Chain A
Amino acid sequence: GENVEQHPSTLSVQEGDSAVIKCTYSDSASNYFPWYKQELGKRPQLIIDIRSNVGEKKDQRIAVTLNKTAKHFSLHITETQPEDSAVYFCAAKGPNFGNEKLTFGTGTRLTIIP
């Protein structure tokens, strides 16, 4: 089955600087890669996703890049703000019809230092 590794497990960044979280996946057939943000005591919220036919996607201060050859994808947050502090999970999903399973990474706790 799919295996997703996520690094780093914790990340502290000065407010205004950029943060980068990296994930690698094992199944070359995986074709959908979402990122979820989970604040303490709250639900995971989808913040950005990318499909395998695209190399990069951007939404305001958040961007995701995908390297299919190397089987890794990254989350980039620019101009970080205190409200970006949360746990971030990457995930990967295969293409098979009926394959509903998202395999999650282990999470990155991001702390923005004011």
Chain B
Amino acid sequence: DTEVTQTPKHLVMGMTNKKSLKCEQHMGHRAMYWYKQKAKKPPELMFVYSYEKLSINESVPSRFSPECPNSSLLNLHLHALQPEDSALYLCASSQSQDVKYFGPGTRLLVL
């Protein structure tokens, strides 16, 4: 399996909802990432997990809460989001510090 998978593909949520994004990889990669991408912009790093431990938090608001239950799974819990949080949320993984493989993303709309 050479892919990173993400669910759901699309998500619409209200500002009072709680939802979770899920990411999975079975390549044995040691690092997993969450990126946020707005339209016509490059991906922006949010969080990095290395060996299942949070190693980088790019000053992301607390309404985004990452979780790494095991080496293959990465979740992003969402609560009380704002309309400006609407974006494509990309998960990625890598074995080395360099090459990163992206998942297909979850397109999130906050109403």
| Stretch from A63-71, A76-84, A104-112 forming part of the interface with B | A104-112
| Stretch from B35-43, B59-67, B69-77, B78-86 forming part of the interface with A | B35-43
Given contacts A98-B50, A100-B31, A104-B43, 6 further A-B contacts (CB under 8 A): A43-B103, A43-B105, A46-B101, A49-B99, A100-B45, A100-B50
Q: How far is the CB of B109 from chain A (nearest CB, A)?
A: 14
Q: How far is the CB of B60 from chain A (nearest CB, A)?
A: 13
Q: Which residues of B contact A51 (CB under 8 A)?
A: 98
Q: How many residues of A contact B (CB 8 A)?
A: 24
Q: How far is the CA of A99 from the CA of B48 in the complex (A)?
A: 10
Given A100-B48, A100-B55, CB of A107 within 8 Å of CB of B40? yes
Shortest Cβ-Cβ A-B pairs, 8 listed: A104-B42, A43-B102, A100-B48, A32-B98, A43-B104, A44-B102, A89-B42, A101-B45
Given A49-B98, A107-B40, CB of A102 within 8 Å of CB of B104? no
Q: How far is the CA of A104 from the CA of B94 in the complex (A)?
A: 17
Is A42 an interface residue when CB atoms closer than 8 A count as contact? yes
Is B56 an interface residue when CB atoms closer than 8 A count as contact? yes
Is B21 an interface residue when CB atoms closer than 8 A count as contact? no
Is A14 an interface residue when CB atoms closer than 8 A count as contact? no
Q: How far is the CA of A87 from the CA of B103 in the complex (A)?
A: 17
In the bound complex, do residue A46 and residue B99 qualify as a contact, i.e. CB atoms below 8 Å apart?
Answer: yes
Q: Which residues of A contact B31 (CB under 8 A)?
A: 100
Q: Which residues of A contact B94 (CB under 8 A)?
A: 100
Q: How far is the CA of A100 from the CA of B103 in the complex (A)?
A: 17
Q: How far is the CA of A93 from the CA of B50 in the complex (A)?
A: 16
Q: How far is the CA of A36 from the CA of B100 in the complex (A)?
A: 10
